[in-house]
Chain A
Amino acid sequence: MKIQKSRMLVWALSIAIAGLILSASSSKSANLSSGESPAGQTLLLNAAGSTFAYPVYSKWFNSYHQEHPNVEFNYASIGSGGGIAQLRAGTVDLGASDMTMNDKLLATFKGKTLQFPIALGAAVPAYNIPGVNVALKFTPQALAGIYLGKITKWNDSELARANPGVKLPNQKIIVVHRSDGSGTTFIWCDYLSKISPEWKTKVGANTSVNWPVGLGGKGNEGVVGLVEQTPYSLGYAELTYCLQNNMLYGTVRNSSGNYIKATLASVTAAAADNASELQKDIRASITNAPGKDSYPISSFTYLLVPASIPNAFKLDAIKDFLSWMLSEGQTQLQSISFAPLPQAMVDIEKSMIPQIQ
């Protein structure tokens, strides 16, 4: 009886293993066939990258699929670095990144890769000073000084001068930054690099940097959580996150000398200001934009598209999606608190689409 039992166990095990192998191989073949879709079948396009832009792609891919039932997108929000790596390896059709790819990085790709700005984001200063419930005004020098560790007290003259009438306490500023690699960090540091030569040489800009001072919080929620909990702290967070959570944040003086509150409109304005430079190089940075209504700490998030797509079905679908994203897609951004592209950018990018072949 015992022997029989153990034999049955062996049988059961081998059946289970065989089943596993079979199911694994069948799912593999299903994957292979979905790529090259003959007309009439669903075409599956894979995209991966930016976690920041995930809400945008999620909304767009869903709406686009409803209008075009034969095209389906699959988006993995694995981070910009992952998106770039996967696109380079050819495992996805489209990549998404919060940071532009420089020439050195582009050279590692087999073919040419186009970068389409798809929407705008911004970083805003958020703070927690007991007794202060107004939007503080920040000069560029104040932000750079605080993050370099040179301005250490809230009642520093740089801050006091910009905020007459606000009683700033004689307390140490506790600086908070993102600890995870993030496009928001890149925007923030890119801005600081532009307005402070010292920041540019000492720290620079990247998705993660070597911070001179401060505590790190994971994600927007981590930074905001630390700021809300720690009295006399200052951090930076993504505008979208702050709008969705109705948070109080400071205004920043732009290069025309006006204190601008970050809104979807003032962020779009920053992109419109730099249109001529973007015409020359789509990767041009829009931080510290010149216009009088521009919010200075703004940036694009990008969709990365290979210039050469051999599969005709995929080529058509991707080109059609890009046109759709530049027209109808843009109108959907406001509802999820992302800033849409200015008309000038839409025109530039429409002229880029025929480059994909």
Chain B
Amino acid sequence: MGTVVTSSVRNARPEPSGRARAFLKRLQNGDAIAHHLTLLFALSILLITGLLVFELYVHSAASRQQFGWHFLVTSTWDPVSNQFGALPFIYGTVVTTAISLLMAIPLGVGGAIFLAEFAPPRISDYLTFVVELLAAVPSVIYGLLAIFTVVPLLREQVDPFLQNKLGFLPLFQGPIYGVGFLAAGVVLAIMIVPFILSVSRQILLAVPNEQREAALSLGATRWETTWKVVAPYARTGIFGSVFLAMARALGETMAVTMVIGNTPKINASLFAPGYSIAAVIANEFTEATGRVYLQALIELGLVLFVLTIILNALARVLILATTQRGTAHT
């Protein structure tokens, strides 16, 4: 069928020169089309990212001019007198993300190791299905869950307990509201565990069986094989899952604003209410009037973008520094 078509095309046109013919031939094979099409798709990602930064940069001009670098280091957010500083929002975003990662990484990676290495295949499949279902739950649902269960639990049980046992640390001092940095961090942790777990499990399953067999044949136990051979082999991919989760935590809006307390203040206590960049943009953008106010919110978007890049880079540097010896590549 294919040859019939090509020959009829040839007959209809004058014979093309050598180079063009080669091109046409490649074209007919579909390789060139696939090459150019996929290149286009790949470039579109660059284009979208570039446009995003460009738009954020251009539309925050008035705010950048008025506040300069002070925008990043001042803490006043006053729409009435048009004074804007991003520091409390940056702080809130970083702190909640850090809390969530501290809780989610052990849970997610540990769960993935169990599902990939130890659990019977049937149980593993069922559990993975449930985990992936969790990843698809809209964040507003997590926010509601947090308001009705996590926040009261923190206020009545967990926070008083922590204050009682660890109250000598500034982290656990001050009045308890239930909502605050800790509540937001816990909700974020619940939201990102499925990401880490699901991706890490896939990575672990992709580790060649020869690796395990080799370790076992040398007399390693099941756990030693997992911890010393399989996990290091899959390290890069597992870190990738953590990056994905971190990006999600940094940008999460709805669930965070429902439980963080929405107060732009910097406070050492995890019980205190705070604010995050994504939350303030979502809260104030619709009703913001006035050029500087609106542009300050757009500049916050730019700050979040840069913050995400910086934290990603820092995490990568950290990983490079800790994995110098004998890194396995996946």
Contact = CB atoms under 8 A, between A and B. Distances in A.
A332 interface: no
A287 B210 CA distance: 78
B185 to A, nearest CB: 17
Contact of B147 (A3, A179, A208, A229): A229
Interface in A6-34: 6-7, 10, 13
Contacts of A179: 257, 262, 279, 283
A82 interface: yes
B29 A230 contact: no
Which of B1, B258, B283, B287 has most chain A Cβ within 10 Å? B287
A169 interface: no
Given A10-B30, A172-B175, A230-B178, A214 B263 contact: yes
B34 interface: yes
B43 interface: no
Interface stretch (A114-122, A134-142, A216-224, A244-252): A216-224
Contact of A222 (B2, B28, B258, B273): B258
B289 A84 contact: yes
A174 interface: yes
User: B interface, how many residues as a size bin?
Assistant: 35 or more
B273 A215 contact: yes
A230 B148 CA distance: 11
Interface residues of A, number: 43
Contacts, number: 110
B234 to A, nearest CB: 33
B81 interface: yes
A222 B283 CA distance: 12
A222 B80 CA distance: 23
A51 interface: yes
Contacts of B28: 3, 7
Interface stretch (B51-59, B71-79, B192-200, B224-232): B71-79
Given A10-B30, A211-B263, A229-B152, A105 B290 contact: yes
Contact of A180 (B1, B284, B289, B294): B284
Contact of A216 (B83, B152, B261): B261
A105 B290 CA distance: 7
Interface in B21-39: 28-30, 33-34, 37
B23 to A, nearest CB: 16
B206 interface: no
A313 B286 CA distance: 31
Interface string A100-142: 0000010000000000000000000000000000000000000
Nearest to A108: B291
Interface string B245-260: 0000000000001100
A336 interface: no
B277 interface: no
Nearest to A104: B290
A242 interface: no
B79 A225 contact: no
Given A209-B78, A209-B79, A214-B263, A181 B287 contact: yes
A3 B26 CA distance: 11
Interface string B36-76: 01000000000000000000000000000000000000001
28 contacts: A3-B29, A51-B286, A79-B286, A79-B287, A80-B286, A81-B294, A180-B283, A180-B284, A181-B285, A181-B287, A183-B287, A203-B80, A205-B80, A206-B79, A207-B287, A207-B288, A208-B79, A208-B288, A210-B77, A210-B78, A210-B79, A211-B263, A215-B177, A216-B262, A217-B262, A218-B283, A222-B258, A226-B179
Given A80-B289, A172-B175, 6 more contacts: A6-B30, A7-B30, A79-B287, A81-B285, A181-B283, A181-B284
Q: Which 3 A-B pairs have the closest CB atoms?
A: A181-B287, A216-B262, A79-B286
Interface of A: 3-4, 6-7, 10, 13, 51, 78-82, 84-85, 98-99, 105, 172, 174, 179-183, 203-211, 214-218, 222, 225-226, 229-230
